[in-house]
């Protein structure tokens, strides 16, 4: 070997900056390759669980703001500590104990009859009795229309309805309970309530909110799918599709199969 020869050199073509950029890009791709994968599964779970859960919450809200009598904006309730004993009264030569409670909807009506009221009710000892406010004059004593306790032998519920009366007395609802019921130890009316139609502006507002919710739900689902496939993460779109469309369809098909199988086995005399 000739010591006077210069060492062999390696010549790299291209600019130095280009070489460095090429190496760094290779390193970057290798290091970040696993990160999007874990994030994608997170997006998939959000689409699979989060979007259906949000839709369920919206449906629950839509169902609870019913613009009808007895809904969240068409009901007034009184507990036992808000129900007073007024005294006794004689109806058809029978003694009755009178319970009473004041209601805001009657105060707003200045004690006059209110066309928005539909039903009044009381509850005691596990019983539920109600009367139709619009039937007859609500300021006259009248029997309850129905009670939850029935005489199943005769298929009639006359036992309680004929022993409980009600009426509107200015801003109060009064309930007359026969002595043979009210004389029982510890007897008390646990709850009293009124079901009425919301005011027109409240009803219209609730209907509008319901329609907006029902319109927003499909927009939410379709928008999530489109956003996932175009701008977001495709796994989010697939999760939304699975949670809102594929899974319900699969469960429905499975249910139909089980029903058919149950009927088939039953016709063969086998237990499912």
235: exposed, middle or buried (Cβ count in 10 Å: 0-12, 13-18, 19+): buried
Q: Tell whether 169 and 105 lie within a shared domain.
A: yes
Q: Tell whether 154 and 190 lie within a shared domain.
A: yes
Q: Tell whether 168 and 221 lie within a shared domain.
A: no
Between the CA atoms of 66, 67, 71 and 77, what dihedral angle is there, to the nearest 10 degrees? 160
Domain boundary among 197, 219, 251: 197
Q: Tell whether 122 and 174 lie within a shared domain.
A: yes
> Does some domain include residue 90?
yes
Does this model's pTM top 0.85? My answer is: no
The total of structural domains in the chain comes to 2
Q: Tell whether 100 and 47 lie within a shared domain.
A: no
Domain boundary among 156, 180, 197: 197
Range of the domain at 250: 38-65+205-267
Q: Tell whether 45 and 132 lie within a shared domain.
A: no
What confidence tens digit (pLDDT) does each residue in 206-249 have?
899 999 999 999 999 999 999 999 987 889 999 999 988 887 88
Q: Tell whether 186 and 87 lie within a shared domain.
A: yes
What residue ranges in 157-272 does DSSP mark as E strands? 164-169, 172-178, 191-196
What confidence tens digit (pLDDT) does each residue in 121-169 have?
999 988 899 999 999 999 999 999 988 875 555 555 556 788 899 999 9
What is the C-alpha to C-alpha distance for residues 27 and 9, in angstroms, rounded to an integer? 27
> Does some domain include residue 31?
no
């Amino acid at each position: 070997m000739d010591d006077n020869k210069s060492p062999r050199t390696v010549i790299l073509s291209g600019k130095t900056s280009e070489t460095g950029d090429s190496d760094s890009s290779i390193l970057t791709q290798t290091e970040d390759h696993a990160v999007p994968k874990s994030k994608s599964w997170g997006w998939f779970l959000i689409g699979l669980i989060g979007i259906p859960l949000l839709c369920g919450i919206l449906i629950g809200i839509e169902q609870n703001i019913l613009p009808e009598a007895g809904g969240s904006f068409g009901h007034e309730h009184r507990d036992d500590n808000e129900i007073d004993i007024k005294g006794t009264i004689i109806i058809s030569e029978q003694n009755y104990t009178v319970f009473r409670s004041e209601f805001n909807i009657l105060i707003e009506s200045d004690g006059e009859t209110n066309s928005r009221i539909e039903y009044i009710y009381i509850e005691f000892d596990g019983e539920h009795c109600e009367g139709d406010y619009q039937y007859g004059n609500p300021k006259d004593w009248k029997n309850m229309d129905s009670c939850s306790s029935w005489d199943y032998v005769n298929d009639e519920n006359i036992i309680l309805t004929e022993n409980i009366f009600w009426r509107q007395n200015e801003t109060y609802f009064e309930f007359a309970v026969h002595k043979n019921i009210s004389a029982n130890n510890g007897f008390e009316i646990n709850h009293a309530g009124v079901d009425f139609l919301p005011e027109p502006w409240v009803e219209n507002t609730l209907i509008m909110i319901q329609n907006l919710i029902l319109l927003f739900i499909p927009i939410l689902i379709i928008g999530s799918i489109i956003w996932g496939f175009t701008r977001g993460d495709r796994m989010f779109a697939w999760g939304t599709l699975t949670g809102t469309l594929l899974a319900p369809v699969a469960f429905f098909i499975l249910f139909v199969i089980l029903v058919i199988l149950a009927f088939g086995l039953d016709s063969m005399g086998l237990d499912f």
